[in-house]
Structure 1
Amino acid sequence: MFLLLAAASVFSRVNRPVLALGRWTGAFLMGLMVVVILVQVFFRYVLNDALAWTEELARFLMLWMVSLMAPTAFRHGGFISIDTVKRFLPERPAVILNLVLLLVSAVVLWWGVDIGWNEVTGIGGRFTMPSLMLPTALDFSTWMKVPRAWMMASLATGVTMMFFINIELMLRLLAELFGAGDRLKPLEGGVVLEAE
């Protein structure tokens, strides 16, 4: 039991600051994405001169924002779920059902990690974004196209973070199943809105 609680505690201590950094970075990226979209709308509809790079940059920022904020939602139950069956089950079978669902999630997330890594390191990651470029000199005399792998790294990052969150949640449920759930610290750091 001690090892189970210690492992859950280690995952919690590692995940908490990583998720906080992801939330703050994701919030910053969302603000930046809004600015880029407003610039895009202004140039397209006011000046009638659409910029080629704004749509790609907005998509790039959105993918990274989602991949950095989704693990927090996953940790705090913010994803859509149908929990009608769990509500009618006694406590122990409900915990077992949750554990089975997390095991299925672990398999899917591990598969997602593999897909994400293959997107970054595979043939698709060797291409560049069509119009998104970064300066490579301080005087802006040379530019490089942004590799597509940088965008696809968002998938690998987000799914990997969710995989580690999934492990933490499984350890917490195992501790609860064996009667030690009251010795775990409650999850903190996330705000989840629920519908009635």
Structure 2
Amino acid sequence: MLALLRPLCWVNTHVLRVGRSLGWVALALMVFVILLQVFFRYALNNALNWPDEAARFLMLWMTGLMAPSAYRWGGFVAIDMLPQALPRTAGLVLSLVILVLSLFVLVIGVQHGYEHTFGFGGKFNSSSLRIPLEWAGMETVKVKLKFMYMSLFVGMILLISVNIELILRSLIQLLDEDAELPSDDAPDTLQSAD
């Protein structure tokens, strides 16, 4: 199983690192767009029509790209008193069962993300997001909603990849408590909290 875990862990580490970088960019742009809207609305008394939807778009992508790292590092809210109170093996089995159930939920999330992205809803245009290309002698392009819905689809795929890694880690720990697991690239502040 370590032969399966190591390459998956390596891929997750590198893909999630890129996702976190893009997520930070999305967060910074979201803050900028919101502050721009506040300035235009209250200082110039001329509210723009696109910043609210642009901020929502950026927030969805930030979440879809950063949530898998939080899931991998145990950053989600969890009630872990019972697994910690149980003996080691029973706690690992319970955690494994919860991870398998989570995998089923994530697969359903991927299906919903796919249907929204490539289905009927993804064919519509955003009500206010447009890419102005008049400066290049081209027509303005309306942003399709599928690019917003795609954040759910991509985020769920990344969460499934992390979930499979966590399942493999739990299985290995269950079978061999002395097994040396590959690093999960967690920041030192999270590793010291364990």
- 8 Å contact from structure 1 (residues 37, 54) kept in 2: yes
Aligned length: 192
Whole-Å Cα distance in 2 between the matches of residues 193 and 186 of structure 1?
Answer: 10
Whole-Å Cα distance in 2 between the matches of residues 63 and 92 of structure 1?
Answer: 38
- 8 Å contact from structure 1 (residues 78, 193) kept in 2: no
What residue is the counterpart of 1:83 in the other structure? 80
- Counterparts in 2 of 1:194 and 1:124: CA distance versus 1, 3 Å: farther
State the identity as a percent: 42
Shift, 1:137, TM fit: 5.7
Shift, 1:86, TM fit: 1.1
Residue 116 of structure 1 pairs with residue 137 of structure 2 = no
What residue is the counterpart of 1:133 in the other structure? 130
Shift, 1:100, TM fit: 0.1
Deviation by residue 1:71-114 (Cα, 9 ceiling, x = unmatched): 00000000000011112101111110000000000000000000
Residue 159 of structure 1 pairs with residue 170 of structure 2 = no
Q: Where in structure 2 are the equivalents of 1:1-196 lying within 5 Å?
A: 4-136=1-133, 139=136, 141-179=138-176, 182-190=179-187, 192=190
Q: Which runs of 5+ in 1 are unaligned?
A: none
Whole-Å Cα distance in 1 between the matches of residues 100 and 43 of structure 2?
Answer: 52
2:57 counterpart letter in structure 1: F
Whole-Å Cα distance in 1 between the matches of residues 131 and 105 of structure 2?
Answer: 35
Deviation by residue 1:121-146 (Cα, 9 ceiling, x = unmatched): 11000001001001346526411110
CA RMSD after TM alignment? 1.8
Q: Which runs of 5+ in 2 are unaligned?
A: none
